[in-house]
Structure 1
């Protein structure tokens, strides 16, 4: 275990994923979201395979015990990716990032509903606080503070639906990790998403320009690299230590949005994002406390010899 290395890998993965989103956003005016999902997923596969070969896990790392579990995770995860990519063409990058923070909050709710996980008042209160923050971020796009265009309203709804799908995908992942290797979950999701994205072919795929194709292929390669960095970060430090650094993505999103897309954040968006981040950190802190408590209970119950 090396917490500092885990944190640095996590921050690197966050930067890579935000850069990937920026590349998708740069093509969103011309390339449909379903087509972007294909490039993002398909070109991540060779990166993942090279990583597995380097770790000598190419054979064992791809075996699965629950094929249908991977299929359902793929369906929901692909929907989350598609809605998220569609939102990048409709809203500024920092707003899409902030609304996406709703996913871990909703995961707490869905885990209680579908996995029977116990959720007490503290975490429920943190989820409520975070959802208030999400509503604050969404409010200008839903016409709460003045007029909002149909495009902005659609973007707000699409990104929020994507966050809900991402949360549901995490519930499937929580079930899969009991029997599946992380490498298998990552690889077969990319394969499933590549195949499912082809369903959107009749809805208007386009021939990207050479420049757009370069951006899309780069997004796929970065997606694979980001997944490897993320997975590696959890090998070196506990999730409770690494997870809060997910919110560094807002700093990267603000910087990239301002420099490359001339997007200036509003105080409303920043205030709402701050609430969501606070709620997320509180949930992570509570998860850590519960983990320590469970570890003490197990130690107390272990016979001393």
Structure 2
């Protein structure tokens, strides 16, 4: 049964998810740079299951959430998603907070490319242009960090952080395509639950490669970060029940404003000129893609409405 349209509620839930996701990122950065990305991913995924399982149990959906018609599809999504998450966390802890957020905005742009290649979706000249412009913005943000390879070699943490965020975007867009396939047969609760489950299992496999011995403070920060990640995922999922994607997606860009504030006051991150210019380009391209998707969706609905009933 479809939920009644309530755009303001959908927007409120989306904004809340953005704020809680930012809290998650802040807690992870505060825990320190010495925690390996695989360990961060495990702790984030494992503790995220606490609010997810509690939510499903409260709504009587826990038993149904474990029922699936495509366990291999969840396996693939979990594997690709956990790789993306690991790269994203590496970039997060080695780059200024606003910069990692801005580079993360490349994900929906790359998703257009992956959907065109894998799903054979038709992408017009307007969206291709927006994607190219957005990737130009990514290059503007990345270039000052990538030049560190010349002076710092391949060991430059910030330069490697940029490459990690680019890998996060590519793999994350592949994960989005896998999710779009899953939603055709699977419940939202099932997709969310199995991702957290597989993410925990896969990331636990990084234990033999060396995890850091965490003190109580770092462990508490990571546990709280994981809990926030689970809550944010639930808020985000719920937001799509009350409003169209095109309505709530632009509010994702609130995170860059909040990230600039948090980064400055908590971590002393001062935004550079290239970062601000590149971010403006990426955000503009992303909003155009969202607007274009909305227009195309309205056109498809109008065409379907004009078709005569079958039978």
2:46 is the alignment partner of 1:77:
no
Question: Match for residue 261 of structure 1?
Answer: 267
Are the counterparts in 2 of residues 28 and 86 from structure 1 also a CA contact under 8 Å?
no
Deviation sequence 1:96-115 (CA, Å, 0-9, x none): 11111111000000001001
- Find 1:220's aligned residue among 209, 226, 235: 226
- In structure 1, distance between residues paired with 2:294 and 2:152: 40
- In structure 1, distance between residues paired with 2:171 and 2:157: 21
Question: Match for residue 112 of structure 1?
Answer: 116
User: Residues 26-45 of structure 1 correspond to what in structure 2 (within 5 A)?
Assistant: 26-45=30-49
Question: Match for residue 157 of structure 1?
Answer: 163
- Find 2:286's aligned residue among 262, 267, 280: 280
User: Residues 1-305 of structure 1 correspond to what in structure 2 (within 5 A)?
Assistant: 1-143=5-147, 150-303=156-309
Q: Give the secondary structure class of the aligned counterpart of 2:206.
A: helix
CA displacement at 1:147 relative to structure 2: 5.8
TM-score (norm 2): 0.94
- In structure 2, distance between residues paired with 1:84 and 1:20: 13
CA displacement at 1:148 relative to structure 2: 6.5
TM-score (norm 1): 0.96
Are the counterparts in 2 of residues 6 and 236 from structure 1 also a CA contact under 8 Å?
yes
Are the counterparts in 2 of residues 142 and 156 from structure 1 also a CA contact under 8 Å?
yes
- In structure 2, distance between residues paired with 1:278 and 1:211: 39
- In structure 1, distance between residues paired with 2:65 and 2:258: 32
Deviation sequence 1:275-304 (CA, Å, 0-9, x none): 101111101101100111011111100349
Change in 2 beyond 3 A, CA 1:134/1:148: farther
Are the counterparts in 1 of residues 32 and 218 from structure 2 also a CA contact under 8 Å?
no
Are the counterparts in 1 of residues 110 and 173 from structure 2 also a CA contact under 8 Å?
yes
- In structure 2, distance between residues paired with 1:77 and 1:175: 14
- In structure 2, distance between residues paired with 1:105 and 1:78: 20
Q: Give the secondary structure class of the aligned counterpart of 1:59.
A: helix
Q: Give the secondary structure class of the aligned counterpart of 1:235.
A: coil
CA displacement at 1:212 relative to structure 2: 0.4
Are the counterparts in 1 of residues 20 and 231 from structure 2 also a CA contact under 8 Å?
yes
- In structure 1, distance between residues paired with 2:118 and 2:278: 28
Deviation sequence 1:232-275 (CA, Å, 0-9, x none): 11111111101111111101111111111010111110110111
Are the counterparts in 1 of residues 46 and 226 from structure 2 also a CA contact under 8 Å?
yes
Are the counterparts in 2 of residues 3 and 236 from structure 1 also a CA contact under 8 Å?
yes
C-alpha RMSD over aligned residues: 1.6
Deviation sequence 1:195-240 (CA, Å, 0-9, x none): 0011111121122110001000001100000001001111111111
- Aligned length in residues: 304
